[in-house]
Structure 1
Amino acid sequence: MTETPPWAPPVAGTDVDHVLASLERLRVTFRWKADGLDEAGLRARIDSSALSLASLLKHLSLVEDHYSTTALDGSSIGSPWTEIHDGTDDFTERTAVEDSAASLYELYDGAVLRAKERYAAAVAAGGLDQPTAMEEAGQARSLRRLFHDLLEEYGRHTGHADLLREAVDGRVGEDPPLDYRPW
């Protein structure tokens, strides 16, 4: 019998169980792909792209905080973004090269933990079909849609992280080891 990873979606469960576990699996896989590198490893790029694991860590930190505040309920994104973000579209990609490995991991881990708490509270308060502060064509997007947008964002960037990490040191694999625990 094979042990089930703690981040794996359930074999059977509710919509909430599945969407949150799928998001967690992508978060854990992304974090494992970026884990344990120094500044040089995090800043390494593939010649045809400006992406690095550093820029992805910072970008997904911003995404986690934005989606779990402003997009979720219209609240301010808060610290550290209100102090450091300069309002430009390329902020995370441009400034990640200035950050230490430790600060990037701390930024990402903190954003994920804050988002998980906010999402748990939101789900408990109204389920997946409740409206969020995000609008499209004059209609509020549901919490379900917000989670699906996050899944898409993570799917894309976890794929990028696969390629970048393999280029840095050859780490490959679909899932982290069973004993991997980023939080």
Structure 2
Amino acid sequence: MASLQHRADLFLDPAEDPRAGGPTLGDERATLTEFLRGQRLTLQLKCEGLDAEQLARRAVEPSTMSLLGLLRHMAEVERGWFRRRFAGLDAPRRYQSEAEPDGDFDGAVPDPAVVDEAWTAWREEVAFSEQFTRETDLGFVGADSTGSPVSLRELLVHMIEEYARHNGHADLLRERIDGRLGQ
């Protein structure tokens, strides 16, 4: 019988954790962007070191959730909020459509080209979001999917929550793949 791992076992050596540091007494912008940066890095860390088959592995039937699906989903979320709703750009969805509303997860197949594209898409969307946030006042008002007003400040809090929720999923997915526990 395999020995059980314990929550005290670390996913990373604390000295190598890229989430360490950042402002602890920062202003509002620094605090929000640092917390979001940490959540984005957590998703990246949960996916690192895995091959295409592992990244595309579904949690349990009938779920379509996988780490690759989460990566694609978060690229779509970043794009929707920052490019379309806040910057007002005509940026078509990357993975979802009316015909395939779950395309971010359903299209997460164990193909190295799909994995490479997902990483590229996520990094592009994060870079756009970070630039938009740096250049825009926190009180800037965009709109949610129903057209209701939302400030950039509220969007950043929402994105922290969105990543945090999905990082909980990522913890369980990663543990199921190779036994590595959350941190």
Superposed CA deviations along residues 70-121 of structure 1, whole A, max 9, x for unmatched, are 121322225x73xx64333211111122653222222222221222112212
Superposed CA deviations along residues 34-81 of structure 1, whole A, max 9, x for unmatched, are 112111101112215320001101000111111111121322225x73
Q: CA deviation at 1:31?
A: 0.5
Q: CA deviation at 1:6?
A: 5.5
Cross-structure match for 1:12:
25
Of 52-61 and 4-13, deviating more is 4-13
Of 146-155 and 2-11, deviating more is 2-11
Contact 1:74 1:133 in 2 (8 A): no
Contact 1:61 1:111 in 2 (8 A): yes
| 2-structure distance, mates of 1:98, 1:37 | 11
Normalising by structure 1, what TM-score? 0.79
Q: CA deviation at 1:135?
A: 7.0
| 1-structure distance, mates of 2:148, 2:122 | 31
Normalising by structure 2, what TM-score? 0.79
Give the unaligned 5+ runs of structure 1. 175-183
Correspondent of 2:102 among 85, 90, 103 = 90
Of 39-48 and 162-171, deviating more is 39-48
Correspondent of 1:160 among 136, 155, 169 = 169
Of 88-97 and 3-12, deviating more is 3-12
Give the unaligned 5+ runs of structure 2. 1-13
Correspondent of 1:59 among 73, 77, 83 = 73
Cross-structure match for 2:46:
33
Superposed CA deviations along residues 137-161 of structure 1, whole A, max 9, x for unmatched, are x751111111111111101111111
Amino acid at match of 1:144: R
Q: How does 1:108-123 map to 2 (within 5 A)?
A: 108-122=122-136
Contact 1:9 1:25 in 2 (8 A): no
| 1-structure distance, mates of 2:55, 2:16 | 30
Percent of residue pairs identical = 30
Aligned pair count?
165
Secondary structure class of the residue paired with 2:162: helix
| 1-structure distance, mates of 2:171, 2:110 | 23
